Amino acid sequence: MKVEIVTRRDGEQEIVAYDYVPRDDSEKPMILDVLLQAQANGMPDLAFRYGCRARNCGVCTVDINGRPRIACRARIKEGDRISPMATLPALSDLVVRRDGVARQMRGRLATAGQGNDLNVSAPDDYHALTGCIECYACLHECPMHARNFDGGLPDEQAVEDRPDPAEGYTSGNPFSLLKLQRIRIDPLTSEAGKSSALDNAIDLGLDACVGCKGCKCGVGIDLIGKVIWPMLEAAGDRLAEKG
């Protein structure tokens, strides 16, 4: 099975053809199977992230033909092109720099004011949100996230204009909104905590969700129904005032 792998060394990008040898006749390999075999067979320094091989850790996301896929649990077919996630800055080969997303949440996750009684069950919607594995597939075509890069992709930007991920991106994304919505529906969050979570969502650019055709979750969480709409609804008047 012939596929293409986009590599990048010391800033130089190259497209490498790789011929995957199936381990048995019926094998329909995952993307990660191809990467592991390539590393063992001719590309020993190939850089890619992976962790659990079971779609739980969220670190192995790559783009297949320009769309994000979780490498350990997405099948690959003849002619596919594997490239690093386009929504984050590329480092080496398929490895992108992820930490600008997490760092934007610093100081925004306060859950202070919780009650002392921890023995309270959470609603189903709460658990739907803690299923997020932080794979960042949801950054794909997100207009809010694109604001960090002048509305485009990080690698299209001039080097001097690129934001420093170490500072945390200023504009949010479905993942950061999910983190905030989780705080809002946690039965143990105080009213002040809930309202500060909404403030943070607005600060991260919730207005970008108005009129957006919507985001897609890598593990099937209903982002629009369980994150975006509840937040837009709660923020409605304030967003309208903002214009």
Non-local (6+) Cβ contacts of 149 within 8 A are 156, 157, 162, 163
Instruction: Indicate whether 44 belongs to the interface with another protein (CB under 8 A).
Output: yes
Q: Select the residue interacting with another protein from 126, 153, 190, 239 (CB under 8 A).
A: 126
Q: Select the residue interacting with another protein from 52, 192, 210, 240 (CB under 8 A).
A: 52
Find the shortest distance in angstroms from Cβ 44 to another protein.
Answer: 3
- 151: buried, middle or exposed (CB in 10 Å: 19+, 13-18, 0-12)? exposed
- Alpha-carbon span 191 to 28, nearest angstrom: 50
Q: Select the residue interacting with another protein from 6, 57, 202, 239 (CB under 8 A).
A: 57
Q: Select the residue interacting with another protein from 45, 160, 191, 241 (CB under 8 A).
A: 45
CB half-sphere exposure, 138, CA atoms < 13 A: 28
Q: Select the residue interacting with another protein from 30, 62, 85, 198 (CB under 8 A).
A: 30
Find the shortest distance in angstroms from Cβ 63 to another protein.
Answer: 11
Q: Which segments of the chain does DSSP mark as H helices, in order?
A: 31-40, 99-103, 124-129, 143-146, 174-185, 191-203, 223, 229-242
Find the shortest distance in angstroms from Cβ 177 to another protein.
Answer: 14
Q: Quick one: DSSP state of residue 150? A: T
3-state secondary structure 95-121: EECCHHHHHCCCCCCCCCCCCCCCCCC
The single-letter code of the amino acid at 217 is C
Q: Which of residues 58-117 bind another protein (CB under 8 A)?
A: 58-59, 64, 68-70, 72-77, 91-93, 95, 97-99, 102-103, 105-111, 114
Q: Select the residue interacting with another protein from 18, 20, 29, 86 (CB under 8 A).
A: 29
Q: Which of residues 213-242 bind another protein (CB under 8 A)?
A: 216-222
* Encoded tokens for 36: 């592991």
Which of 21, 240 has the CB closer to another protein? 21
Please choose, out of 151-159, 182-190, 195-203, 205-213, the segment that lies near another protein by the rule CB under 8 A: 182-190
